[in-house]
Amino acid sequence: MSKILEVNNLNISFHTFAGEVKAIRGANFHLNKGETLAIVGESGSGKSVTTKAIMRLLPETNSEIKEGEILFDGKDLTKLSDKQMQSIRGKEISMIFQDPMTSLNPTMTVGKQIMEPIIKHQNMSKSAAKQRAIELLKLVGIPMAEERFKQYPHQFSGGMRQRVVIAIALACNPKVLIADEPTTALDVTIQAQILELMKDLQKKIDTSIIFITHDLGVVANVADRVAVMYGGKIIEIGTVDEIFYNPQHPYTWGLISSMPDLDTAEDELYAIPGSPPDLLNPPKGDAFAPRNEYAMKIDLEQEPPMFKVSDTHYAATWLLHPDAPKVEPPAAVMKRKEMYPGYNNK
């Protein structure tokens, strides 16, 4: 499988009145051609900042890419000029935002908004672009596309608006599509429709997707691989089966245990204690250590490197060090391991 996008040792800081916030502290991952990579983590873990960096949408006034590179098609996106970036953004890499209510322009008809990237990037005539826009509306499942083309965003429901946003993102057949919580603002039934649509379109136009979400159910539904972020780092990455049935990092354990599935009957849900780390003064060792009941002395002193679990599965926790004591993960995780014994050899 060839890599289409590669993020190497990315470090991003924001300069605020209170000091330097180290939002991303050495993130490494890649996106394979044709796959869906889900990035999960709580708010403030750096999911959105990472993808905004890929799109070069971070505010220039107060943010800074301190280190690292983002390789797309052999080019380092962090080094491109604004002009060069404009020919990539929206054409080669495009984005679907979380809130369809605010990401569309309320004063423009949806047709115009879909035509915008087509005219800008593909040098089509207006009438050809219109044809293409109507085609796209049909593709994303909007009935009566010709009439809907002339309507304004407020005439659409939330699910329909998100379909329009997807149509805009797909207008130029992008190689990479970044979806930042595209279904969080939607109802479950609508969410299911949008997820089906995205999977269907992925097959049709052969794009690679980075899918950001905090809903593990959605991850299980769409992802091929999963990256778990915490405190500005990827702390575990692997195929969706590896993350769900053989998680290694205590934070991943916590995430999985704190979500009730439909037959959870225990008296108390597992809750990760405490709150996310303060990235103004990031902790010295493992950022998760203060909330981690399995933390060892070394967790407070030294950051764990990525340990290899399998060819596709890596996790940054000292528990994987050969000298570490064997610990028993929480019950909910053990249950999962049993459900899928193939990964039980550890």
Partner 1 sequence: METRKKLLEIKNLKQYFNVGKPNEVRAVDGISFDIYEGETLGLVGESGCGKSTTGRTIIRLYDATDGEVLYDGVNVHGKKSKEELKAFNHKMQMIFQDPYASLNPRMKVSDVIAEGIDIHGLAKTKEDRMNKVYELLETVGLNKEHANRYPHEFSGGQRQRIGIARALAVDPDFIIADEPISALDVSIQAQVVNLMKKLQKEKGLTYLFIAHDLSMVKYISDRIGVMYFGKVVELAPADELYNNPKHPYTQSLLSAIPLPDPISERSRKRKTYDPKMHNYQADETVQLREVSPGHFVLCSEKEFEQYKK
Return residues touching partner 1 (CB under 8 A): 42-43, 158, 187-192, 195-196, 214-221, 223, 240-241, 244-245, 254-256, 258-262, 264, 267-272, 275, 339-340
In 3D, which of 228, 254, 245, 240 has the Cα closest to residue 306?
228
Angle between helices 188-205 and 158-170 (to 10 degrees): 20
Question: For residues 60 and 267, which CB has a smaller minimum distance to partner 1 in the complex?
Answer: 267
Q: How far is the CB of 33 from partner 1 (least distance, A)?
A: 21
Q: In what order do the strands lie in the sheet with 314-315?
A: 93-96, 176-180, 208-212, 36-40, 225-230, 233-239, 314-315, 307-308
Provide the 8-state DSSP code for 46: S
Whether the CB-CB separation of 224 and 240 falls below 8 Å is answered with yes
Q: In what order do the strands lie in the sheet with 3-16?
A: 19-32, 3-16, 63-72, 75-76
Query: In this structure, are strands 3-16 and 63-72 parallel, antiparallel, or unpaired?
Result: antiparallel
Q: How far is the CB of 272 from partner 1 (least distance, A)?
A: 4
The token duo for 149 is 């083309």
Q: How far is the CB of 275 from partner 1 (least distance, A)?
A: 6
Q: How far is the CB of 252 from partner 1 (least distance, A)?
A: 11
Q: How far is the CB of 130 from partner 1 (least distance, A)?
A: 31
CA atoms within 13 A on the CB side of 47: 24
Question: For residues 51 and 191, which CB has a smaller minimum distance to partner 1 in the complex?
Answer: 191
Amino acid (1-letter code) at residue 202: Q
Q: How far is the CB of 82 from partner 1 (least distance, A)?
A: 34
Question: For residues 254 and 304, which CB has a smaller minimum distance to partner 1 in the complex?
Answer: 254
